Amino acid sequence: MKIRLAMAALAACVVGAAQAASVDWSGNYTSTGGYGANLSEDAKISIGGDPVSPLTGSYSLSVTFMLTSTTRPSGFASILSITHGTGGSGNDDRNLRLSLNRDGQLTLNGNVSASGQTVPPSIDHTLLTNVDYTAVLTLSGGTADFLLYAGGDLLGSVLDYTLNNTYAAGPLDTIVLGSASLTEANGNRTFGDGVLVVKEVTLVPEPTALALLALGVAGLALRRRAA
């Protein structure tokens, strides 16, 4: 009976995790247009399950992308935008953006940036063309860890970056590729035709204490049964 109860608790946690914010997208998104160009529907990835707030929940986002040109934007060009609490004015969202800056480095910026900052945090690595990069962003309790990989090698990181605590209340709900906006590629935050290729996006919730507890209970019960 103890084993059944432990396994039931574990199953409940697995179901709970499956219902949490999740995305597993493999596509072949290529940037199109430029300033003022409307975004196609394949640039918007809706987040399924039960979305969480970046300031209250925990999750990891992974994006694999490639650049086909060494042309650098005059400001920031968004590789993707994680939108949160949509329906506002301007960009129609509150967002945390993964962007390429004018120096060719990956930058963390957006409406959720820490208040009072003058320069968004960047990874000290200049991106090259025709290289598959994977950026991993982990948000937990209002802070973010940001890592960049290529071929399994860690190229750089930004750790314990504090997010703005006035970020909109509303759930995380959409990932937008190649733009800072849900509605259009605005300003200098977009790439030109064929410059950005996004190959995979994965969003998963972090393991919860309850799930770890259930795993421990199940393991203990199985050990007692084996003994």
pLDDT in tens, 27-53: 888 887 666 666 777 788 888 777 777
In a domain, 170, yes or no: yes
Query: pLDDT of 182-226, one tens digit each?
Result: 766 655 577 888 889 999 999 887 654 334 444 444 444 444 455
Q: Is the pLDDT confidence value at 118 over 50? A: yes
Is there a contact between 185 and 33 (Cβ–Cβ < 8 Å)? Answer: yes
| 3-class state of residue 89 by DSSP | coil
Q: What are the residues whose beta carbons fall under 8 Å from the beta carbon of 78, sequence distance 6 or more? A: 97, 98, 99, 176, 178, 179, 180, 189, 190
pTM listed for this prediction: 0.78
**Cα–Cα distance list, 166 to 78, 107, 136 (Å):** 22, 21, 24
Give the pLDDT score at 128.
95
Specify the CATH number for the domain of residue 93: 2.60.120.200
Domain encompassing residue 113: 22-206
Q: Is the residue at 87 inside a domain?
A: yes
105 or 117: whose pLDDT is higher? Answer: 105
- Quote the DSSP letter at residue 75: S
Domain count, the chain: 1
For residue 82, tell me if it sits in a domain.
yes
In a domain, 218, yes or no: no
Both tokens of residue 143? 């802070």
pLDDT digits (tens, 9 = 90+) for 151-187: 989 999 999 888 776 555 567 778 888 887 776 665 5
Find out whether 29 and 197 touch, Cβ atoms under 8 Å. yes
Asked if residue 105 is part of any domain, the answer here is yes
In the DSSP assignment, the letter for residue 118 is S
Please indicate, yes or no, if residue 168 is contained in any of the structural domains.
yes
Q: If you ran DSSP here, which 8-state letter would residue 57 be given?
A: S
* Residue in the block written with tokens 């982990």: 138
111 assigned to some structural domain: yes
Structural domain contains residue 16:
no
